[in-house]
Structure 1
């Protein structure tokens, strides 16, 4: 199946999964019993399991490719394509009845050198009525739900050329040392951007760099469990002609933890002074 058609089919699966998750969010639920390092609840975990089962079954029926990223591990073969399904990105926002959470799906391709790279990404924010779609060589689009129907728009990053007056977003983990590093970075650049936002989740922050809402986004130490969200958002950024890398300028490694920065590609040099 061609990548463009595969992306559209994947978006439809994510949108339908989002409908199910949104209905569960609207229903009354218990905020107690936090579990795991991400601060989510048993409620969110149960929804996650159902969503992944749903997305997996629909993807297998549509085009299973060569399997799933999480299962294949070191058995991934050159030339293979592997689906990467994420839990709800922004689980705390979801449990707390906030709007900023997403369903993410990406597709990795393994090169002849054995290195993998995401080539398809879908990020769907059900409450916001936004869906971001991107595929290698196909550009990136945003679909907005409006009162008169869905509106499709090709997206591109901002043209802001300096940090002064820009809008920057950042993320931080649930581990104290990593959070401290993020906040220290924010404190050092405070006063330069017009605004420094902390809303999340990661996938949506990346998409908002891609569509020009933010001029840049950074987060230290994204972990293996962040790969679904980061990989889906990364394809959107790249195909919108934005830039995404590690803080040191090296490509993102999909096998290790990463300090990630995304930008419009114009304020990188100035921003990099603060990313240590």
Structure 2
């Protein structure tokens, strides 16, 4: 197996640099210049998002000039709006996951950096500099929060949705054909009943909280590859499940494959009981109403 630790070391260093910029800007956010994406009041971008992405890519290019670089702001400002992910080693970055949180001073904000090789995230770093939460993992090397292995003990059973604290998001697209099925799905899961529902505003952090074991499950449609790539390897290395809404093929080690560019995600934490996570996945899948998004 390839040693991904050198890549992780580089990603951690760059994430800390980016985090320092984000934290300073968060403290002084009253002076922020805020733009709307596609004239959507629910989809924001700031000069800090753009600056942080430039800093990250400049540092990565100096070390890995032959790699590909995919970032939220560079893709959103391109004509194709596509990630262009292929077999080339690719760094997939969200400079500020949770921009709306950032603008409003809600501290669930993170920089997310992933190395993706042949469609599989093999290095992931998710750093919330406001709350000093540094999640990271390499494929086959385990997952950690500030050097503590994940999931955090004690490992709890998850016999049914009735004992689960779940999370989902409404997303920035409020068109009825997008929003209505999301609301109906949420209603069906809550009525199952789930114990509680949380909406955090950052896909990367939400998945990391599932990896940590403080959230039990999470699903969302409309996510992009940069939202979920880093957290995917973190959550899987923490023993959790990361899959698409529709059942997929099996990977080499028997886990269900996950398509990063599918625009949806469903995940469940590691559980104490064998097969409990798979049962929760299928329970949520049964409640989900499909939402159509163009692929990344």
Which residue in 2 is equivalent to 1:131?
134
Deviation of 1:120 (Å): 1.1
Which residue in 2 is equivalent to 1:154?
149
Pairing partner for 2:93 from 68, 74, 85: 85
Whether the aligned pair in 2 keeps the contact of 1:178 and 1:221 (CA below 8 Å) is: no
SS for the counterpart of 2:185 is helix
Q: Mind listing any 5+ residue stretches in structure 2 that lack a counterpart?
A: 76-81, 249-256, 270-276, 290-296
Deviation of 1:75 (Å): 7.4
CA deviation vs aligned residue, 1:119-142 (integer Å, no higher than 9, x gap): 111100111110110111111111
CA deviation vs aligned residue, 1:96-131 (integer Å, no higher than 9, x gap): 011001101111112xxxxx2211111001111101
Q: Mind listing any 5+ residue stretches in structure 1 that lack a counterpart?
A: 111-115, 144-151
Paired with 1:170 and 1:97, the residues of 2 have a C-alpha distance of 21
Paired with 1:187 and 1:101, the residues of 2 have a C-alpha distance of 27
Which residue in 1 is equivalent to 2:212?
211
Deviation of 1:254 (Å): 3.1
Q: 5 Å matches for 1:160-199?
A: 160-176=158-174, 177-191=177-191, 192-199=193-200
Deviation of 1:2 (Å): 3.5
Paired with 1:212 and 1:74, the residues of 2 have a C-alpha distance of 30
Which residue in 2 is equivalent to 1:252?
258
Paired with 1:33 and 1:17, the residues of 2 have a C-alpha distance of 19
SS for the counterpart of 2:68 is coil
Pairing partner for 2:285 from 231, 255, 272: 272
Q: 5 Å matches for 1:33-44?
A: 34-36=35-37, 37=40, 39-41=42-44, 44=45
Paired with 2:85 and 2:286, the residues of 1 have a C-alpha distance of 37
Q: CA RMSD in A?
A: 2.5
